[in-house]
Amino acid sequence: GHAHPPAPPKGTAVPGVKAIIAVASGKGGVGKSTTSINLALGLRDLGLKVGLLDADIYGPSLPRLTGLAQKPEMEDGKTIIPLENFGLKLMSIGFLVEEETPMIWRGPMVMSAITQMLRDVKWGPLDVLVVDMPPGTGDAQLTMAQNVNLAGAVIVSTPQDLALIDARRGVAMFEKVNVPILGVVENMAYFVCPHCGGRSDVFGHGGAHQEADKMGVPFLGEIPLHMRIREMSDAGTPVLVSDPQGEQAAAYRHVAAGV
């Protein structure tokens, strides 16, 4: 049978949070987490109060992306105070458990961990909470899309055909549960040579844009495949923090403005 995990009542809102936006991808490794944090920073730059929940409990990336390792503090023995960095409120299962802890979660445990990070964390007051979803379009993602009061979803894809097929599944999943698609971001859209500055369309060009048009959803923009994005992410200082005037930061800000 299909035992459903314990879930909050449909459309659970998070106290003090005006809008929750999911960032999703059809599969792992396309840059969903990197896009999530830079999107959150881009929204911050628009003057919004922003939080970022790393809901990828299989492979939490927020500790690496922010350089934070301390455990969040508790209030009244049950409310978790989110960490803060770069003007963002931040929460990740990675702040609660050691990085090396094997995470063999079953579906229900996944949902309750995510539910807890939504309900038991003192998020508010926030204009936007960006949720970096677990990769893929399986049961856990569907349950979450159904149970959280999402204002909309952003789909991250690379330009390859296979990634685009997966992205289509992501769009279909959110449409099935009536969550508006805010748009598609094409990550690793083209390569900029750090030596000569020349541009190469490694995976072809414009695939995600065409796919978005075909699906009738907005195209939010292209993010180049760039050394600096990877280096700064790994250093815990995303490009919108370390190089806010740079071209890569501008690409993310363009995406944020479209959301």
| H helix intervals, 99-238 | 107-119, 139-147, 161-176, 207-215, 227-234
Rule CB under 6 A: is residue 155 a binding residue for ligand ADP? no
Q: What letters, b where the CB count within 10 A reaches 16 and e where it falls short, cover 13-22?
A: ebeebebbbb
Rule CB under 6 A: is residue 233 a binding residue for ligand ADP? yes
Rule CB under 6 A: is residue 143 a binding residue for ligand ADP? no
Count of positions on this chain that bind ligand ADP (CB under 6 A) = 18
Q: Between the CA atoms of 159, 224, 144 and 256, what dihedral angle is there, to the nearest 10 degrees?
A: -130
Rule CB under 6 A: is residue 253 a binding residue for ligand ADP? no
Cα distances (angstroms) measured from residue 80 to each of 110, 150, 200:
18, 22, 45
Q: How far is the CB of 21 from ligand ADP (least distance, A)?
A: 16
Residue (28 or 107) nearer to ligand ADP, CB: 28
What's the rounded Cα separation, in Å, for the pair 216 and 225?
A: 26
Q: Determine the Cα angle at 156 with ends 118 and 131, to 5°.
A: 10
What is the H or E stretch that residue 250 is in? helix 247-258
The single residue among 164, 225, 241, 256 that binds ligand ADP, judged by CB under 6 A, is: 225
Per-residue binder mask for ligand ADP (CB under 6 A), 7-36, x = binder: ------------------x--xxxxxxx--
Rule CB under 6 A: is residue 240 a binding residue for ligand ADP? no
| Residues lying near ligand ADP in the complex (CB under 6 A) | 25, 28-34, 61, 135, 187-188, 223, 225-226, 229-230, 233
Q: Could you list the residues known to form a binding site, using ranges.
A: 26-33
Q: Could you list the residues known to form a binding site for ATP, using ranges.
A: 26-33
